[in-house]
Structure 1
């Protein structure tokens, strides 16, 4: 169908860039790409094409970044205009508004060749304010909590909040990039207005919309800077808190080491006496009261040989364990979950799911 329309009306090949932007996608690529404002002149024919991205509030309460495409051919030889609109969903807002305008006999749209552009921008541009406000509502509670946090008290923020702030930072950066493409398209239309010497009132509405877009872009940039400041503050707070906890743990370990040294010293102090008491307390020795002397048992060699063999076996076993690269020792250590890895995995999962819900396109 599109090929038939293109051949019938002699549309330039640059037109095919518009439908190339509408396809089913599951990943977040080309999330801010917009076909730039394109102007093609052929004798008495002027062709205009571009895509427009905007936020849309879905029925489930979530926001989605959608796009619409528009192609406009003006033929001054017969005073006719050809419009082709690409909508992301059936019965979109712009589609309904265009149908209403075409059915309203009181609107003299034939006298305004640029009325469809104005309708498209006027329908979708105001939604940026609501979208930015929804993101700001998610940001302010985290910001207020971060400012009211004290190092010496339990923290009410964690790495999940840091992930949420990073996600908001990406959203605000996305807004600035998309709105910049919108303002470039409006500027191109305004220049064409002036070139064609159209009435001043026709271009005034678009210029007002352009100013509102600039305000939205500045607001998003301001909030992005605030989020970046909050990310640094929260990162430094969590890092400082971790350092405080690490210092406390080091202090406890130092106390434990001092206790271990003290116990080891006592062990070394009492070990010789304990050994001598144990050794002479065995039945290998006896006191000959008649001759006033100590009599040794002839089987004492059993104790000496057994002790020597057991000591040698102990040292050989320890030497074998050391040359096993500590595999046995590591298995004996209690398993501690890698909290850092689990936290990063949870943050990446939350970020990926949030991006998919927000930026999934429906064609």
Structure 2
């Protein structure tokens, strides 16, 4: 039988909205200086697009699963497992909290409710790397009201909007046992149902999921979920916070709540939620690794069956230089997966150790029943199964990474042999081209020599022509009808109409000269017209510099 023990009224605390101020006296938290650092980190993260601005409406989803204890129930004989007794059972309420006033009313209802209850808060975002859909004030109110471990802020700031590389290698885990009524909200009319100590645990878990988008080519993406739980056996109250939980995970939690519809404070429920989270987050690794293996198989086939020298245009199994890039990209992705799986394995082992420590702590209590630690054993067994599954996935990734390294070496060797053969063929072609160039140069020299000889002949002909040109001109004049040779007198007779030659020759020459002068005058008038039009448009001469141009020229000088 458990002895009933009433809690004293708590000492007045600071306003929860000022979290983490006023919590230095809490033994499970860190020092005041560290608390200030965590608070400043939260403020910086809020400014760095972690959550919504204060003027926007929040969207906080809450699952409130509770059961009202009847007045005549035997509380002194109830165990931590919260076995179903007389009382009113109620399904989980889904509450959408959109304002700070609504949140405070909800928190007041939780603290004044006398009975078993489990509260689950979902800090959601629109997509994987967008802002959390609640304001900084609401976050601080929840953290301060439930006195959460400030290390939870380390998990918080890994979420929010991201426009650069994400922190895939980040991991966080913390736990704390020996929490005696961590909420400190039991009033004088409420009694304690158990002497077992409470606990708090938080971690961040990464998993693979399909993104259902056209891009990128890889249909899977690495996502993460943050978890924080506080369990208070004295009040049979469990508080959960899930950061960016998937829709499928929420559906499974609803089914789990329906399973424990009469025992919302059951320890098995609190423990099984961890198992559901790990099982859901572990289901995506197998199809993701299978996809990577099929993708690597294509590269492997091209590496093994590719021809080193001869290449067929219709053969698709040909290694290309792009395959080397794909292999390096795949190797980098596999290394990151190995690290993420190692972090999850380490996290699962820490959770199993925590369950064993909590089981040992509760086993030492004389007021516990023999079946109190059964949920802990179930948790350890389930976590060990998840560790085995994660280790199998990690071994598959390690084996695939080794295969990728080998096929990468083979593809590079094939490409090196092919490049060497291509270089030899190119060298032979270059030698043939060089020989053809030498022969062509010889022909060009012959053509150039022949051209020089022809030039000399043309120059000689030009000189001869220049010598005989005056005589040709005189002969052409005397060959006209204006001159005649009298055979009787043996004299040269000049015609009386010889002036006609000079009239026509001079007239035609004058007309040609006048036409040229008229054309030059019209061209000059057109230039003057364009010149004055430019002056009218610019307000200055085309080649005149403005004051600004003169100033810039003086500055340069």
Q: Give the structure-1-normalised TM-score.
A: 0.69
**2:267 corresponding residue in structure 1:** 111
The Cα shift of 1:174 comes to 1.9
**1:223 corresponding residue in structure 2:** 400
Given that 2:209 and 2:223 are in contact with CA atoms closer than 8 Å, whether structure 1 keeps it comes out as yes
The Cα shift of 1:67 comes to 1.1
More helix by share: 1
Given that 1:34 and 1:52 are in contact with CA atoms closer than 8 Å, whether structure 2 keeps it comes out as no
Give 1:100's match in structure 2, choosing from 231, 235, 255: 255
Structure 1 residues 117 and 88 mapped into 2: Cα distance closer, same or farther (>3 Å)? closer
Q: Find out whether 1:52 has 2:189 as its counterpart.
A: no
Q: Give runs of aligned pairs for residues 288-299 of structure 1, distance below 5 A.
A: none
Q: Give runs of aligned pairs for residues 1-363 of structure 1, distance below 5 A.
A: 1-30=138-167, 32-41=168-177, 43-44=179-180, 45-60=198-213, 62-89=219-246, 92-105=247-260, 110-112=266-268, 113-154=270-311, 156-197=318-359, 198-199=373-374, 200-264=377-441, 274=450, 278=454, 284=460
The Cα shift of 1:258 comes to 2.8
Given that 1:284 and 1:299 are in contact with CA atoms closer than 8 Å, whether structure 2 keeps it comes out as no
The Cα shift of 1:24 comes to 2.4
* Deviation larger for 60-69 or 209-218: 60-69
Q: SS of the residue aligned with 2:151?
A: helix
* Deviation larger for 118-127 or 232-241: 232-241
Q: For structure 1, which runs of at least 5 residues remain unmatched after alignment?
A: 286-295, 301-363
**Separation in 1, partners of 2:324, 2:282:** 30
**Separation in 2, partners of 1:166, 1:150:** 21
The Cα shift of 1:148 comes to 0.6
Q: Give the structure-2-normalised TM-score.
A: 0.46
Given that 2:309 and 2:417 are in contact with CA atoms closer than 8 Å, whether structure 1 keeps it comes out as no
The Cα shift of 1:268 comes to 6.3
**2:524 corresponding residue in structure 1:** none
Q: SS of the residue aligned with 2:157?
A: helix
Given that 1:47 and 1:72 are in contact with CA atoms closer than 8 Å, whether structure 2 keeps it comes out as yes
**Separation in 2, partners of 1:175, 1:19:** 22
**1:325 corresponding residue in structure 2:** none
* Deviation larger for 79-88 or 260-269: 260-269
Deviations 1:233-255 (A, max 9, x none): 22332233223212211111112
Given that 1:17 and 1:35 are in contact with CA atoms closer than 8 Å, whether structure 2 keeps it comes out as no
Structure 1 residues 184 and 261 mapped into 2: Cα distance closer, same or farther (>3 Å)? same
**Separation in 1, partners of 2:277, 2:346:** 15
CA RMSD of aligned residues (A): 3.0
